[in-house]
Structure 1
């Protein structure tokens, strides 16, 4: 099908990006996931605290959701240690990526080695190969550093920033420049969707890209400060971060009556039968293909 030949870039982190990438699995190498690398919690945060480097958890999650052929390799990659001691809670995939990163010239090489091992054709690219943390400026002017602390704010921050400002991965920028469709979300808005847009090179590429930009809404209200933000506010944050470029399409389970009429809203049943807050892969794939057909 013609739309399967179009190039798609999906931006975000964690479960949301993994869900989109797995929904677009049939597009193969025509899909690139640009993954947030600022997580500082859980197994990822513990590894960063003692080893440094970028956060691997969201990348591992995306790869996990793209595995189509169960194998010993995939079981090892998904294994999480239990019990007492320092290994408790660590995911072996995080440790493997960290080890391969230490053995490789670039973190992207570590990802590609795992992709090859697990037969994942979708491109997975970290937003940056340099470690950085997400920070937020509160409305009172205080700076809160660390993704986990940002998620615990009592209200939405005044703005987000990266500390330090790091360069974007060149492959991520090139993929955006060559894309036919760019997908933002679903997922944690402040800590998954927004961080890549704070990188100057990605921001510039998004502003200039001829691709359509689509925002996929969550199916349930987020916990934390992002849950207090309206859809209109989220879109404004995205657009402000990409130099005023407008989001073209908003995909969601219903029409948001308060949203400006300039936005094209695509309404579709996207919920999984088992978990109403989780996007169904097949439904999501069909909805995205319909947007591509209308391009």
Structure 2
């Protein structure tokens, strides 16, 4: 019987939206030993409208991650990604978001809805919401003003003092357990304030990262500059915010294009070309896979 190295390692990636989706696609060989912990604070677009009408957690980032893990295009996957057009109330809504919201209303808990969809679309990688309770991202500006809601935080002109999640909600228990088992924990790539930071603001999740000192904690850098308040932050500052959220736990390795001397001197930095050949602002799945597997199996 052939030896499968992927069955011996557990990997957790934390973030949201497109960046986490690409990372999870790069981890597909790990199957059920790979887990994505997804930010659930989005309040824009179709997701925001569903939250406004129905309540519940934000489904958009989870839908995006699941969609990037569909290996065989099918009528099921086309349905899941279908976006309504027209002049009515359905305009702009994504059918996947509506299916997840409907399943959530029918299920005992949001995770059951996610697992039903994973089964329906034959997705092996685990997808876990960071929390199963509705919550919003909040930011405190340098002039002492609190701003609530991910979209509003993204549109702030001022520099930020701190971030918080409101109300205080518990992390999903399965997410805590997966972090405790992990050999590798990956942050990013993705929007810093709205994808990477929200899960780290949940105390039990951050504590689980801090306690798992056997895991390698890797940060994967973005390839294009960010806008809004995140664009005003130095990369070093972002890394320090992550470490502070994780109870002072040091980031072991940073993987990126190698443009920031201050960071290269202060952390173990692996300079690697991760850019997609046709869109240099986007991470290439195969390059990500090679870079991450080199760390996992080193």
**Normalized against structure 1, the TM-score is what?**
0.98
Deviations 1:229-271 (A, max 9, x none): 1111011000100100000000001253112634111111100
Instruction: State the Cα distance separating 1:161 from its structure 2 match.
Output: 0.3
Q: Which of residues 163, 167, 185 in structure 2 aligns to 1:164?
A: 167
What secondary structure, in the 3-state scheme, does the structure 2 residue paired with 1:258 have?
helix
Contact 1:81 1:91 in 2 (8 A): yes
| Cα distance in 1 between the residues matched to 2:80 and 2:280 | 28
| Cα distance in 1 between the residues matched to 2:122 and 2:144 | 47
| Cα distance in 2 between the residues matched to 1:244 and 1:192 | 20
| Cα distance in 1 between the residues matched to 2:238 and 2:8 | 30
Contact 1:154 1:225 in 2 (8 A): yes
1:5 and 2:14 are equivalent in the alignment: no
* Aligned match of 2:251: 247
Change (3 A) 1:189 1:103: same
Deviations 1:43-72 (A, max 9, x none): 000000010000000000000000011111
Deviations 1:204-239 (A, max 9, x none): 101101211000000010121111211110110001
| Cα distance in 2 between the residues matched to 1:274 and 1:85 | 36
Contact 2:6 2:29 in 1 (8 A): no
Q: Which of residues 137, 140, 145 in structure 2 aligns to 1:134?
A: 137
Q: Which of residues 206, 212, 217 in structure 2 aligns to 1:213?
A: 217
Task: Give the unaligned 5+ runs of structure 2.
Answer: none
What secondary structure, in the 3-state scheme, does the structure 1 residue paired with 2:18 have?
helix
* Aligned match of 2:194: 191
Contact 1:135 1:145 in 2 (8 A): yes
What secondary structure, in the 3-state scheme, does the structure 2 residue paired with 1:119 have?
coil
| Cα distance in 2 between the residues matched to 1:253 and 1:30 | 28
What secondary structure, in the 3-state scheme, does the structure 2 residue paired with 1:259 have?
helix
| Cα distance in 2 between the residues matched to 1:127 and 1:194 | 11
Q: Output the aligned Cα RMSD.
A: 1.0
The number of aligned residues is 294
Instruction: State the Cα distance separating 1:2 from its structure 2 match.
Output: 2.5
Task: Give the unaligned 5+ runs of structure 1.
Answer: none
